Amino acid sequence: MILNAHSCYSLRYGTLSAEEMVADAIEKGYEAIALTDINNTTAALKFVSICTGKIKPIVGVEFRNDDELLFVALANNNEGFRQINEALTQKNVSGRSYASPENIFDNCYLVYPHQKGEARHLKENEYIGVRLTDLKKILTEKKEVQKKYVILQDTCYKDRNGYELHKKLRAIDRNLLLSQLQPGHIAGHGDYLITRQKLLGYFEPFQHIIENTKRLVESCSFEFDFKEHKNKKTFTGNAYEDKQLLRKLALIGLKERYGGNNKVALERVEKELAIIDQLGFSSYFLITWDMVAFSLHHNYYHYGRGSGANSVVAYCLKITDVCPIELDLYFERFLNPKRHSPPDFDIDYSWKDRDKIYNYMFGKYGSGNKAALLGAMVTFQDSSIIREMGKVHGLPKDEIDRLIKYPESPLNKTEICREILKHYAAIENFPSIRSIHAGGMLISEAPLTCYTALDLPPKGYLTTQFDMHIAEDIGFEKLDILSQRGLGHIKEAGELILKNKKIQIDTHQVEKFKTDARTNELLETGNTIGCFYIESPAMRGLLRKLKCSDYLTLVAASSIIRPGVAKSGMMKAYIQRTRYPGNFKYLHPVMEEQLKETHGVMVYQEDVLKVAHYFGGLDLADADVLRRMMSGKGKNSTRFEQIEKKYYENCSLRNYDPGVAREVWRQIESFAGYSFAKGHSASYATESYQSLYLKTHYPLEFIVAVINNFGGFYNTKVYVYEARRLGGKICLPCVNKSEYTTTLYRNEIFLGFVHVKSLQQELAMKIGQERERNGIYLSLENFKLRTRVSLEQLIILIRLDALRFTGRGKRELLWEAHMLYNQRDVKRKDLPESMFAEPAINWTLPKLINSKIEDAYDELELLEFPVSLTEFDLLKTKFRGDCTVGELMIYVGKNIRMVGNYIAHKSLRTAGGEPMAFGTFTDVNGDFFDTVNFPPCLRAYPFKGWGAYLILGKVTEDFGVPAIEVEKMARLEVVLDERHE
């Protein structure tokens, strides 16, 4: 009967996981334990599931204001748990300190600390908690006073080591040195679990306190059904009407998607609807449809992906644009009678639109705390552990850095370093801060406070204190409303095309895009910069190796690019078989029949289902259970062994060669753990085709949209350079042409003020707004008066030549600016804006010359990339390499020198743990090439960031795609800015 136990979810306080805490209580003879984490119920339901059948769980919370213990609330039933959550939520939403409990806890027991509780007039459900440290104090008290006493022994660590770890966590939490901790900051020396027998022995003289405690524990009862679905049960208010509405909507969509006579599609829809109804997911589909319908009505571009793409009903409801029938996607991959874990839909929105969707969903479904975002937990990881531990021990930053980078250094053989490393493993993966899931949302039938307290983070939407794993365990299906910049590219490109070309593009016409010859040509050549999932160096290389020029090959490429597939050798096998289809044999006729599309290679998770079903004789539901267990989801060794045994029995009944059966099982085992769902791949491929089509036919509108949505895999300069390569004329910001974001006038691209470093956002937006209201700026003085720009901000704009409309050079304008700003102007901030143009003062100055090199350095400083010149123009050397990218194949097997402008590199480790890298560069023509930097080379010639490099290495090729295996590499010297030499 432990009434006050803190798990590690008492953040930066408790040191035990819920599992450790329960196991310790059972070992020490207790029959009941209360989890009372500080000001949160994050782990409450997880704790209940751990206790079930082992020890009686009591759920509660220790309410505190900062370090001040107010009281412990223990739920005596489920309603009491809700009241605790409501109180926590109210405090989190209001931001106020906890007040007196009053009448809000009538289904809870409240236990006050001994000293504070004495002064209260206690109600029937209120008690005073007595710790072991209080026993001497109560010896002299009358029993009449003690009649409301209960045992309140705290526990938050297990032993001496746990106490030391607890102190470190408290110092981290309060950002103090260990030596600065005060008694009130930390738990007591005795706040650990002693045996039940020993505890009762201490209270032997106070039998009435023991009896009070027993009665309290016996009267607490908390029951929870973990299997029941907790989501909103109906959309219409009636389950039968939900079923009918979903069928009606699905059939309307069926006619639109497939025409009126597609029997295969109709049969699939009817089958899916039956399973959806059987498992009680009609409302979940309808709520998702409602959100999508709202999106379509308001032109908020969305994209449905994930395993939901396996559903024809979802396709008919326009939740996804992936046709499961075309791709032979199994509905059982998404939902089946044997799948106990709930499904979820992943719906992507532009980062600009997602909050509008949240507002709609919370407005429609959130009343009464019935909608919330999913919480997440940030844990202590890797170097952050050492950094935090080092700070509380008072280590200087350079010593902490050394301990992180060189843990075996002799300089680290100190007592403090040993102490830090000793506790490293203990704190690793410990919860540290509650956060928000990337996009998960719950819509509940009952108030969410029946299950958790709710936080109100700065984002402004209620958020559960538990994470997606607990949500799934207790029966919630989350709805993922995700933010993606790729959709912002597509939406804004469509708007620019309509504005500039007066052409309305329906980007949902993916079938048209798939058959567009020019689009497929762009895909095959890997000219995919800016195109969502297929713009990375690795993906562009893969597209070229595959000669990928169609949708189905792109779907496969989107899956085999994943690290697990590449590492297993399956990527190379797939490329080989795709390029040379006659040079391999299928393992078995069933493999040819089921995997002909992927040349006998298992590429998708669905391939595991197909092979297990058609070759191994497992039903589809069992096959999906197998796939999930191999992916680490719902691992159950007994169930796995049953399925494996069933597989081999079926193979024996089918008279398969035992060696072939074993090899197929080996492939299933080795593949399923890292495979990618075909629906995921198809979703990525579909969105990639939308981007590709826009880039092919409207390249400048598309690339400007990419720039305005702040790119994707690369930084802004790469997309600016790509715009130039596509025929755009890149123009520096101009106060009479540019907006906050980048603008396109025919083929002229004016960079937006948002890209100018150190330019205040208010001014960056005001320049265009003022010009829109009162016309173009007439002079430097006119610009100054109308925008009230400070001298410092004006200098930034002049250095970027943003006032070139005046016809004056940058140096002349700088002189003029300083003359305009006398001391009175600098100090006066209250002068009204001038609404009228004033006559400009004519200054007579000597002719001042500005060089292109100076311009380029100004641009590098203020934009982080040059516009007036290229990186190649800044080099001291005129050498541009032995060849260009277009000529590399001529030199395969030979050593050459290339000059490349650094774009990016990807670091990884060899099988032996040594660092290596893949680099990406462009040649003088702007064409991309890749390098391989093996460990010896990388150690001797590391990447040094921005600039052009001279690269010496051997040209290699893989399926017709060249790369350079680097031997030596050095960043080339540039012409210096004479102003700063």
Mean pLDDT of 946-961: 95
Nearest C-alpha neighbor of 479 from the set 366, 627, 560: 366
Q: Are 742 and 707 in contact (CB under 8 A)?
A: yes
Q: 628-632 long-range contacts, Cβ below 8 Å, gap at least 24? A: 628/339, 628/341, 630/668, 630/669, 630/672, 630/673, 631/605, 631/672, 631/673, 631/675, 632/673
Mean pLDDT of 128-152: 84
Provide the token pair at 86.
Answer: 């409501």
- pLDDT at res. 666: 82
Which residues have C-beta within 8 Å of that of residue 81, sequence separation ≥ 6?
A: 41, 44, 59, 75, 222, 450
Q: Are 302 and 292 in contact (CB under 8 A)?
A: yes
Residue 830: pLDDT band with limits 50, 70, 90: very low
Average predicted confidence (pLDDT) for the chain: 89
* 371-379: strand order across its sheet: 302-305, 345-350, 479-484, 431-443, 371-379, 463-464, 454-455
Q: Answer with the residue of higher pLDDT: 143 or 618.
A: 618
Provide the token pair at 869.
Answer: 């010149």
Is the pLDDT score of 196 beyond 90?
Answer: yes
Residue type, 495: E
**Among 489-493, 508-512, 877-881, the least confident range:** 508-512
Beta strands in 407-469 (DSSP E): 431-443, 454-455, 463-464
**Predicted model pTM:** 0.80
Sign of CA dihedral 424, 426, 432, 435: positive
DSSP 329-393: --GGGT--TT--SPP-EEEEEETTTHHHHHHHHHHHH-TTTTEEEEEEEEE--HHHHHHHHHHHT
Residue 920 phi, psi dihedral angles, 5° rounding: -130, 130
Q: Which H or E run contains 967?
A: strand 961-971
Question: Environment class of residue 483 by beta-carbon count within 10 Å: exposed (0-12), middle (13-18) or buried (19+)?
Answer: middle
Residue 5 phi, psi dihedral angles, 5° rounding: -115, 130
Mean pLDDT of 514-518: 95
Mean pLDDT of 712-721: 91
For the chain, report the end-to-end CA distance as a whole number of angstroms: 76
- pLDDT at res. 142: 72
Q: Are 110 and 72 in contact (CB under 8 A)?
A: yes
Is the pLDDT score of 53 beyond 60?
Answer: yes
Q: Which H or E run contains 284?
A: helix 282-297
Q: Which H or E run contains 67?
A: none
Residue 823: pLDDT band with limits 50, 70, 90: very low
Nearest C-alpha neighbor of 962 from the set 872, 879, 883: 883
Scored b (16 or more CB within 10 A) or e, 542-572 reads bbbbbbbbebebbbbbbbbbbeebeebebbe
What sections of 580-733 are H helices per DSSP? 589-595, 605-610, 620-630, 637-653, 658-672, 678-697, 699-708, 716-725
Residue 73 phi, psi dihedral angles, 5° rounding: -105, 125
Mean pLDDT of 241-250: 97
Q: Mind listing the pLDDT tens digit for each residue in 146-193? A: 888 999 988 999 888 889 999 999 999 999 999 999 998 999 888 989
Residue 832: pLDDT band with limits 50, 70, 90: very low
Q: Are 810 and 850 in contact (CB under 8 A)?
A: yes
**Percentage of residues in the chain with pLDDT exceeding 90?**
64
**Among 412-416, 560-564, 907-911, the least confident range:** 560-564
Mean pLDDT of 407-430: 86
- pLDDT at res. 842: 57
Q: Mind listing the pLDDT tens digit for each residue in 12-28? A: 999 999 999 999 999 99
Nearest C-alpha neighbor of 441 from the set 457, 410, 412, 464: 464
Q: Are 307 and 334 in contact (CB under 8 A)?
A: yes
Residue 731: pLDDT band with limits 50, 70, 90: very high
Nearest C-alpha neighbor of 130 from the set 29, 199, 59, 56: 199
Q: Are 901 and 718 in contact (CB under 8 A)?
A: no
Q: Enumerate helices (H) and strands (E) in the chain, giving the number of each.
A: 40, 23
Mean pLDDT of 443-471: 93
Identify which of 215-229, 318-332, 809-823 has the greatest average pLDDT: 215-229
Mean pLDDT of 241-258: 96
Q: Answer with the residue of higher pLDDT: 1 or 739.
A: 739
- pLDDT at res. 831: 44
Mean pLDDT of 121-127: 88
Three-class DSSP category at 418: helix
Q: Answer with the residue of higher pLDDT: 189 or 56.
A: 56
Is the pLDDT score of 333 beyond 70?
Answer: no
Q: Which H or E run contains 974?
A: none
Residue 46: pLDDT band with limits 50, 70, 90: very high
Q: Are 916 and 935 in contact (CB under 8 A)?
A: yes
Scored b (16 or more CB within 10 A) or e, 872-906 reads bebbeeeebbbbebeebeebeeeebebbbbbbebe
Q: 588-595 long-range contacts, Cβ below 8 Å, gap at least 24? A: 588/615, 588/656, 588/660, 588/664, 590/614, 590/615, 591/615, 591/664
Q: Answer with the residue of higher pLDDT: 118 or 191.
A: 191
**Among 375-384, 676-685, 726-735, the least confident range:** 676-685
Q: Are 534 and 688 in contact (CB under 8 A)?
A: yes
- pLDDT at res. 630: 63
Is the pLDDT score of 136 beyond 70?
Answer: yes
Residue 849: pLDDT band with limits 50, 70, 90: low
Question: Do the strands 915-922 and 126-130 form a parallel or antiparallel pair, or are they unpaired?
Answer: unpaired
Residue 422 phi, psi dihedral angles, 5° rounding: -60, -40
Residue 906 phi, psi dihedral angles, 5° rounding: -115, 125
CA distance to 105, 529, 530, 871, 897, per residue, from 947 (Å): 66, 20, 22, 6, 16
Return d(Cα 803, Cα 813) in angstroms, integer: 8
CA distance to 622, 627, 656, per residue, from 641 (Å): 12, 13, 20
Question: Do the strands 748-750 and 729-731 form a parallel or antiparallel pair, or are they unpaired?
Answer: parallel
Q: Mind listing the pLDDT tens digit for each residue in 304-331? A: 876 777 889 999 999 988 888 988 887 8
* 729-731: strand order across its sheet: 729-731, 748-750, 743-745
Is the pLDDT score of 34 beyond 90?
Answer: yes
Residue 545 phi, psi dihedral angles, 5° rounding: -65, -40
Residue 827: pLDDT band with limits 50, 70, 90: very low
- pLDDT at res. 563: 64
DSSP 12-42: TT--S-HHHHHHHHHHTT-SEEEEEEET--T
Provide the token pair at 622.
Answer: 């069992």
Residue 801 phi, psi dihedral angles, 5° rounding: 60, 30
Mean pLDDT of 875-888: 95
Nearest C-alpha neighbor of 752 from the set 777, 769, 732, 729: 732
For tokens 């992943």, what's the residue? 346
Mean pLDDT of 712-741: 94
On the CB side of 613, how many CA atoms lie within 13 Å of its CA? 20
CA distance to 233, 340, 473, 806, per residue, from 228 (Å): 11, 11, 10, 72
